[in-house]
């Protein structure tokens, strides 16, 4: 499941980022060489950035790369740290699932109203639905982390392919990761 999420979100983000690069190259080259730019290039760049950012959310969650406040971890026994981390992951999953539902509702409302971008008239509801889907996948990633955490983010958990279980991936107390 993790690998499927990584591949899907990674390919989606990579394709969108590549499209931004190509669009920027063509737009700047057109302005310099032909004195004309790509119509709607700013709108397209903004929408593609939405795809990059929201496709990255599940990737960040799966890698355990969110900012973590761990100042009290040095004072807690490992079993309590693990329980705390699982509860935080479950709370994040619930909050993101609720946000995904709200975003889906808003995307449906925008589609129903016919909301479009100003210049290219692209339907905005589609992009809000995509944002909702990506937030939902981030919620799923946090559910996965609640039961199968990654080592550098969770104390006492070995990374895939790592046989050690010493918790060395945890940062010193009081540092942000």
pLDDT-derived band at 160 (thresholds 50, 70, 90) equals: low
| Distances 85 to 7, 69, 70, 121 between C-alpha atoms, Å | 25, 11, 10, 44
18 or 157, which is more confident? 18
Whether 123 shows a pLDDT value over 90: the answer reads yes
Please report the pLDDT score of residue 81 as a whole number: 86
What is the largest distance, in Å, between two alpha-carbon atoms of the chain? 66
pLDDT digits (tens, 9 = 90+) for 65-84: 888 777 888 888 988 888 88
Q: Could you tell me the two tokens for 106?
A: 């808003």
Q: Could you tell me the two tokens for 150?
A: 């990654």
Across the chain, what does the average pLDDT equal? 86
pLDDT-derived band at 173 (thresholds 50, 70, 90) equals: very low
* Domain range annotation of the chain: 2-153
- Please report how many Cα atoms fall inside a 13 Å half-sphere around the Cα of residue 117, on the Cβ side: 18
Please report the pLDDT score of residue 126 as a whole number: 96
What residues does 116 pair with on adjacent strands? Answer: 123
pLDDT digits (tens, 9 = 90+) for 1-34: 889 999 999 999 999 999 999 999 999 999 999 9
Question: In terms of pTM, does the model score above 0.75?
Answer: yes
CA angle (128, 54, 60) in 5-degree steps: 155
């Amino acid at each position: 499941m993790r690998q499927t999420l990584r591949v899907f979100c990674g390919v989606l983000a990579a394709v969108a980022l590549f499209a931004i690069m190509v669009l920027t190259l063509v737009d700047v080259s057109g302005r310099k060489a032909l004195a004309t730019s790509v119509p709607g290039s700013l709108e397209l760049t903004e929408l593609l950035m939405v795809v990059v950012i929201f496709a990255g959310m599940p990737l960040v969650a799966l890698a355990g790369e969110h900012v973590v406040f761990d100042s009290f971890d040095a004072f807690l026994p490992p079993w309590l740290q693990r329980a705390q981390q699982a509860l935080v992951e479950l709370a994040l999953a619930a909050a993101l699932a609720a946000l995904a539902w709200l975003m889906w509702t808003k995307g449906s409302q925008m589609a129903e109203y016919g909301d479009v971008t100003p210049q290219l008239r692209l339907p905005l509801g589609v992009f809000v639905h995509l944002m909702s889907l990506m937030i939902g996948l981030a919620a799923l990633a946090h559910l996965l982390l609640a039961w199968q955490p990654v080592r550098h983010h969770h104390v006492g958990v070995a990374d895939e392919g790592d046989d050690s279980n010493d918790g060395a991936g945890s940062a010193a107390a009081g540092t942000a990761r």
